[in-house]
Structure formats: structure tokens, C-alpha cells
Amino acid sequence: MKKILFGAITLMVGLVVLAGFFFQDPFGPALTLIYQWGLVLVAVGGLIGLGTLAAFHIRNIIQQKKGWISSAVLLAAFLFSLIAGFVLTPQNAFYRDLILNVQVPVETSLLAILAATLLYASLQLIRTRGWTPLSIAFMASAVFSMLFNLGLIQTASGTLGEQVLMFFRRLPLVGARGVLIGMALGGLVMGLRFLLSTDHPGGER
Amino acid sequence: MTWSQVAWVVIGLAAVLLLVLTWLVKPRRYALRHSAFAQRLSQSRTATLEQGRRQEVVLGHALWSRVYPGLGLSALASYTALLNAETLADGRQTVSASEGILVTFARQIIQGRYQAGFSEELLQDKVQPVVYGPTPFSFNGGLMADLKMQDYGTLVILGDFGPEAAISVKNIHDQRGEAFAATGSMASQAALFVNVDDLLLGEEAYLAPALLDPSPQAQAAALTEDLLRVGVILALVIGATLKAVGVL
């Protein structure tokens, strides 16, 4: 019964949203209302997520699991940011400086780790994947794409050489479009699966 | 042609197809394409379970995004297939995401499964949903720390990510664990291609639920995706040809 009810509501809401896309005049107000409800639900989900984050670290501290000191530091920072946010509000210049001057350097350091990780992984590409057509094509396209976009190779305007160069510069965009079209198709089918209640976000079977 | 007219054409076409497929075409089972991804993931999860190590399933950073709609839903559908009886009884699995709504749904899936066939008082460990951090980088920081502090054998990355997903893969490899990915965004696919052996690329990311749980419904969805793909390829080729000869 629960499954049927859930499926019926999903189908009804999905069809109204779909109809609202094509028939904007009659379904426009309903569409706005559904979006607003959706936003409220997502916000509540976000709060539950924050509760889960706090619960995970409180559990770590109580059970004195490995790294519980890090959990204590995280919880203290979390509570400090939360209380300061409520007292000073996020629009306050001092609060923004306080948070951003910690958050931005930390995230930048993670970006640096990412750059190093990717460089190391790229050097290991052939060792990881072997000499396969896909790995060779990936490596060659990455190298040539970087070379062509460095601007070292120049041709006279209006010549065949310029057209060839432009073709190779645009080639990654063509590939990206191909991937995006495929992703759009996949997204369409995934939407249909949930609309027709073949799958449920809550996993009901 | 207005959007309303397009809608009526789509509705009419859908009605015709519904009638034709219901009355004229006999139902049959379609063989799903062979994929080593599901087989190797199953082997890795079994080995992890037998070695008493943990599994980590990451569901991404967004339930819905404008560029990659449906990726979050795909991750949830795939996760349903990863919660088998052995994993639930073992309990050494963590499922995480940086968006609260994804973790809320994951929690609902887990609780539904435990209520369906387990006496929870008898279990030592239970599968836990976790938010390591509310932003992609803070999440990744938390995930990195957890991967280092606990003994993980399998890392499964599903859904919507940026290139930072590559860092956690490096961590799991350092722990002699294995990584599997079915992510959608192009940045994450390019970053993960260089260090993940078992990776579903492009629209294959949406096939993950069907590969992990080849039920008739999932196979039908995979077949629909394949047919749509053939249709789009034909439309592109015909369109390009017509443009080349000056008709369009």
C-alpha cells in the first residue's frame, strides 16, 4: 500500500512538472509551488545531514575511536562557526573574514594535493591501464590538446593551416558534447525510471 | 512550432507506442551487455568482507544538478543494489555524501532493509550513513581522514563529483584497497580515468544500477537507453549529411 501511494504521488508530481514545462500558462503556478516545496524538503534534508555529521563525530568521541581528537576539534570548530553565524550573521564582514580566511587556504591546499595526485597518476597511466587503445588515445589527446592551446603553433590567417589548427583545438569540445549528449540520454532514462516507480529514492521494493 | 504542439506530438507518439508495444510486440528477456565492472566489484566486496575490512560507498555531492540531472538518483539506485544481506549482516559499510538529502535517502534505504529481515539487536555493527562535510572539499578532507584511520578494502564512487574524487582513490590505493567509479561529470571522469581501473564512462554511469542488479526493469531501462542512443546517432549523422549537402 505504501509503495503504491508513494508511486502514485511520484507519478502525479512528475507529470505535473513535465506538463508545466510544455504548457506553461495553465501549469506555471503549480510548478512554482512544487519547486518551493522541493526546496524546503532539500533544506530539511540538509539539516538532517548536518545532524548526521555531528552524530558521527559525537559517537567517535564517546567511543574514543581512533582519531577522536580530530572529531573533537571538528565539533568545536563547527559549534563555534554555527554560534558565531547566528550571533554575527553571515553578512558580517568580521565573520566572513574569520571563516573564509580558514576555509579558502585549507581548500586551496587540497587543490594542491589534487594537482600533485593527478600529475602522479598521469605519469602512472600506462602502468595502471597498460597499452590499450583507450589509454593511448587519452594520453595523446591530452598532450596534443595542451600543445595546441599553448599558442606556440601559429599559422597565417585564412590559410588551410589555420583551419586545421582550429579543428584540432575544437576537437576536445566535440568529444565533450558527445559525452554530454550521452549523459542527457542517461538522465532522461533515469528520470523515467523514477517517474514510473521502477526505482524509488528511498529504496522501497 | 510551439512547446505545446511539441508536447501533443510527444503525447500522441507515446500513446501509439504504448498501444503497439502492449498488443503487438511480445515481451521477451533481453541480454544485458557484458561488463567486467559488476563482476570485479562483486569479487572485491566479497574479498573485503572475508578479510574483515570495511567498504565505503560515496554517493556524490548533489542529488540534482542542471548539467548532470539524474546522477544523484542513479547513485541511489545503484546503492540499493549494493546493500545485500551479507553486507547488512556484516555492517562494516559506510555510505557517505556531502549533501544531506542524499544521506537522508540512503538512511531510509538502510533502515528499510534492516526492518525487512534483520533482528537489529543481534547485530554488532550496522551500516552507517555519514556526511563527512557539507562542501565538496570539506567532505573530501573528512573522507581522506576516515580512509586513513579505518581499514577500508573497497571504495565505490557513484554520482556527481568534481576532480577531487581522485584524491580519495589515491588514499584507498595506499591502503591496498580497490576503487570502483561510476561518476558522471566530465571533470571527475577525466581525473578518475588515470587512476581507476574499473570506471564507467559517459552514459554508462547511468547503467550502473542495471549492471549491479540486472532485474527485468533495469534491463528494460538499459535497452531503452541503448535504443535512444542509436536514435541520436542516426539523427546526428543524417543532420550532418543534410547540412553538408545544403538541405538544412
Query: In this predicted structure, what is the pLDDT of residue B28?
Result: 64
* Sole residue written with cell 545544403: B246
CB B219 within 8 A of CB B210: yes
* Other CB atoms within 10 A of residue A2 CB: 8
Query: Does the pLDDT value for residue A20 go beyond 70?
Result: yes
Portion of chain A with pLDDT greater than 90, in percent: 11
Question: Which one of A52, A59, A143, A200 makes the best mutation probe of the B interface by having the most chain B beta carbons within 10 Å?
Answer: A52
Residues 89-128, chain A: which have Cβ within 8 Å of B? 103, 106-107, 110-111, 113-114, 117-118, 120-122, 124-125, 128
Please report, for the domain that includes residue B127, its CATH number. 3.40.50
Residue for grid cell 573528512: B142
Is residue B105 domain-shared with residue B154, that is, in the same domain? yes
Kindly state whether residue B130 falls inside one of the protein's structural domains: yes
Q: What percent of chain A has a predicted confidence (pLDDT) above 70? A: 99
> In this structure, are B99 and B221 located in the same domain?
no
Question: In the prediction, which pLDDT does B79 show?
Answer: 93
Mean of all residue pLDDT scores within chain A: 86
Q: Does B12 touch chain A (CB under 8 A)?
A: no
CB-nearest to A186 from B80, B193, B225 is B225
| B84 found inside a domain | yes
The reply to whether B26 falls in a domain is no
**ipTM of the assembly?**
0.84
In a domain, B16, yes or no: no
Helix (H) or strand (E) holding A57: helix A24-62
Task: Give the pLDDT of residue B3.
Answer: 80
- B198 in a domain, yes or no? yes
Position B239 in a domain: yes
**Structure confidence at residue A120 as a pLDDT band (50, 70, 90):** confident
pLDDT of A65 reads: 85
Which of A22, A176, A178 minimises the CB distance to B6? A22
- Return the DSSP state at A204: -
Helix, strand, coil proportions of chain B in percent (round to 5)?
60, 10, 30
* Same-domain pairing of B157 and B243: no
B140 and B181 both lie in a single domain: yes
Which of A53, A103, A190 is facing B131, going by the closest CB pair? A53
**For residue range A29-45, what is the model confidence (pLDDT) as tens digits?**
888 899 899 899 888 98
Domain segments of chain A as ranges? 1-88, 134-184
- Residue A179 sits at the chain B interface (C-beta within 8 Å): yes
pLDDT tens digits, A79-101: 998 899 889 888 899 888 888 89
pLDDT on residue A167? 87
**Claim to verify: residue B149 and residue B222 sit in the same structural domain:** no
Boundaries of domain holding B45: 31-212
User: Which helix (DSSP H) or strand (DSSP E) does residue B95 occupy?
Assistant: strand B93-96
- Is residue B7 domain-resident? no
Residue whose entry in the numeric block shows the C-alpha cell 579543428:
A167
* Residue B197 and residue B223 in one domain: no
Q: Mutation target for B interface from A117, A135, A181: give the one with most B CBs within 10 A.
A: A117
How confident is the model at residue A153, as a pLDDT? 81
Q: Is the residue at B51 inside a domain?
A: yes
A185, B228: Cβ pair inside 8 Å? yes
Distance to chain A for B46, nearest Cα, Å? 22
What is the three-class DSSP state of A16? helix
Residue A88 grid coordinates: 554575527
Same structural domain, B106 and B229: no
pLDDT under 50 in chain B at which residues?
Answer: none
Report CB contact under 8 Å: A201, B132.
Answer: no
Whether residues B107 and B222 fall in one domain: no
Give the sign of the dihedral formed by CA B234, CA B239, CA B242, CA B247.
positive
Assess whether B143 and B219 both reside in one domain: no
pLDDT reported for residue A42: 87
Q: Say if residue B199 is in the same domain as residue B82.
A: yes
Q: Quick check: A181 contacting B, CB < 8 Å?
A: yes
pLDDT of residue A128: 76
Distance between B207 CA and the closest CA of chain A, angstroms: 8
Domain count, chain B: 2
Q: Are residues B175 and B188 in the same domain?
A: yes
pLDDT-wise least confident of A10-19, A179-188, B22-31, B127-136: B22-31
Q: For helices B71-82 and B100-117, what crossing angle results, to 10°?
A: 30
Which distant-in-sequence residues (6+ apart) come within 8 Å of A139 by Cβ?
A125, A126
Do B140 and B155 share a structural domain?
yes
Of B100, B164, B193, the CB nearest to A138: B193
Residues 46-85 of A with CB under 8 A from B: 46-50, 52-53, 56, 65-67, 70, 74
Q: A-contacting residues of B 139-178, CB under 8 Å?
A: 140-142, 145, 149-150, 163-164, 166-167, 170
CB within 8 Å: A183 and B203: yes
What digits encode the pLDDT tens for the residues A127-171?
A: 777 888 888 888 888 888 888 888 888 888 888 888 888 888 888
Q: How far is A176 from chain B (nearest CA, A)?
A: 8
